[in-house]
Amino acid sequence: MAKIIVIDDEKNIRDGIKKSLEYEGYEVLSFESGNKALEIVYKGGIDLVISDLKMSEKTGEEILEEIVEFDNKLPVIILTGHGDVEKAVEMMKRGAYDFLTKPFSLNKMSIIISRALESRKIKEVKESLEKRVDYDENFYGMIGRSKKMIKVYEFIKQVAPTKATVLIEGESGTGKELVASALHQSSNRSAYPFITVNCAALSEGVLESELFGHEKGAFTGALDKKIGRFEASNKGTIFLDEIGEINQNVQVKLLRVLEERIIERVGSSKPIEVDIRIITATNKHLLEEIKEGRFREDLYYRLNVIKIEMPPLRERKEDIPVLIDFFIKEFSITHSIEITNVDKNIYKTLSSLSWEGNIRELKNTIETMIIMSKDGKISLEDIPKYVIDNSKNDFTVNGIIPLSELENKYINYALAKNNFNKAQTAKALGIERATIYRKLEE
Ligand SMILES: Nc1ncnc2c1ncn2[C@@H]1O[C@H](COP(=O)(O)OP(=O)(O)OP(=O)(O)O)[C@@H](O)[C@H]1O
Ligand SMILES: [Mg+2]
């Protein structure tokens, strides 16, 4: 049970609170002044502190300050007199969890306390998660330990320290942006800017002046001089996303940057040297674009010094369960929804889908499922129907596999397509309902 400290110089108030909280099952230590209480806090093991504001030896304000410095996750609730609301609000800005104005109802106090304890738990879980993830399963925000992903991580580690231009190819939602950021973070440029430009999101004219900047009066509307993103990312990394979308004019200018590391602001012919690493990404087949005459071949070879190909999720399905767990944790924290029970069939069913939208689609699906979950449970019925409908059936196998394995895949697919209704599925498969139950057991 949670351990609570109560500090108030009025005996009847601290006794009253102590009695009421003990009745609720909390362990309570009460003090008439701050110093002794703080000694106990510093020993650790305290879950919450309730402190009066106006006291002679140490004020509530001073007590709060010391506690926040010691452990900013330890919730402090301040007790104030009638005229002190302004002060109390100020204390919340300095880290108090909440305040209660005397006289207050014990019921209200009890609600605030349980909320405070809950929020502390969430913060702790989040912290331990981040720590754990940092050390063993997370590579700069990327989850997944499949052979294909390990290869990607190894490759990133190898090329990050160099200045080589990198082209990242892969379907939408495979994590290209995360790879670009990992390349930057694990390079010796990490203390300098990492700037992303989404080339598809900007119209032709805008893109050019975004990238290169412009001089005052360079074109109508150029009221002031503007520093472009290339200059802004000096000494760092610039990530040009959706590079397949840039027009011929910008392609020529980009070629010059790649060859000479020199830019010119729009409306100026003064060359400016930049020290940048360039990373680009695309989900288009640039070779096709070259064939169609939309993308310069010489530019392609300059961009494609090092190529990283992101595997689609369906080619590394063994990563799906860990990704599911990771996103469940992430979104249960974001939405403050505690998930205590995940139907084991979720892993099997979600792993059987083709995920055309890759990790982004899986991530969005898990978020929806958490929001729609009931009583902390996630069950098969929570899988949005459109996710299943959008999934292509996938019975491709490498070589020969046991028939039972293929059968298993097919049954799961049929179940998903039939809203997990076993009777309906059995009918669609032309077998007895009992048979389906038996096969699922197996
Ligand atoms: N390995 C991974 N582990 C955890 N989260 C991931 C992983 N890969 C991608 N994500 C998440 O999936 C989402 C999509 O990733 P990202 O934006 O990097 O994809 P993309 O390849 O750039 O897609 P697009 O081509 O559509 O821009 C992001 O929210 C990202 O954080
Ligand atoms: Mg992207």
Residues listed for the chain: 442
DSSP class of residue 315 equals G
Confidence of residue 277 (pLDDT cuts 50, 70, 90): very high
Domain co-membership, 153 together with 287? yes
Kindly state the average pLDDT of the residues 180-202: 93
For residues 54 and 39, state if they share a domain.
Answer: yes
199, 303 contact by CB (below 8 A): no
Ligand 1 is surrounded, with C-beta below 6 A, by 142-144, 170, 172-178, 283, 359-360, 363
The CATH number linked to 269 is 3.40.50.300
Residue 173 alpha carbon to ligand 1 centre in Å = 5
Query: Is the residue at 245 inside a domain?
Result: yes
Residue 138 falls inside a structural domain: no
Q: Give a yes or no: residue 398 inside a domain.
A: yes
The residue whose CB lies within 8 Å of the most ligand 1 atoms, and thus the one to mutate among 134, 148, 174, 178, is: 178
**94 and 210, same domain (yes or no):** no
Q: What is the pTM of this model?
A: 0.66
Amino acid in position 293: G
Q: Number of helices and strands (H, E) in the chain?
A: 19, 18
Ligand nearest to the CA of 178: 1
Mean pLDDT lowest for which of 70-84, 132-146, 277-291, 390-404?
132-146
Are 302 and 320 members of one domain?
A: no
73-129 pLDDT, tens digit per residue, is 899 999 998 778 888 888 998 999 999 998 888 889 999 999 999 888 877 777 766
228 and 288 belong to one structural domain: yes
Of 281, 311, 341, which residue is a domain's last?
A: 311
Confidence check: pLDDT of 233 > 70: yes
Indicate whether 324 and 303 sit together in one domain: no
| Distance in Å, CA 170 to ligand 2 centroid | 10
Q: What pLDDT is recorded for position 278?
A: 97
Predicted pLDDT at 136: 54
pLDDT tens digit sequence for 405-415 = 888 878 888 88
% of the chain surpassing 70 pLDDT: 97
pLDDT (tens digit, 9 = 90+) per residue, 242-269? Answer: 999 999 999 999 999 999 999 999 999 8
For the chain, the first-to-last Cα distance in angstroms comes to 42
Confidence of residue 135 (pLDDT cuts 50, 70, 90): very low
Tell me the pLDDT tens digit for each residue of 361-400.
Answer: 999 999 999 999 989 999 988 999 888 888 877 676 777 8
Number of independent structural domains in the chain: 3
In a domain, 294, yes or no: yes
CATH number, residue 12: 3.40.50.2300
Ligand closest to the CA atom of residue 310: 1
Domain of residue 374 covers 315-441
Integer Cα distance of 7 and 30 in angstroms: 6
Same domain flag for 17 and 110: yes
Select from 267, 288, 311 the last residue of a domain.
Answer: 311
Q: Locate 345 and state its tokens.
A: 């069939």
- Name the nearest CA neighbour of 408 among 349, 337, 325: 349
Q: Is the pLDDT of residue 17 over 80?
A: yes
Ligand 1 atom closest to Cα of residue 326: 4
Domain boundary pick from 284, 311, 338 = 311
Instruction: Mark whether 125 and 192 lie in a shared domain.
Output: no
Q: Are residues 281 and 385 in the same domain?
A: no
* Same domain, residue pair 340 and 415: yes
Residues 25 and 114 in one domain: yes
Residue 137 lies in a domain: no
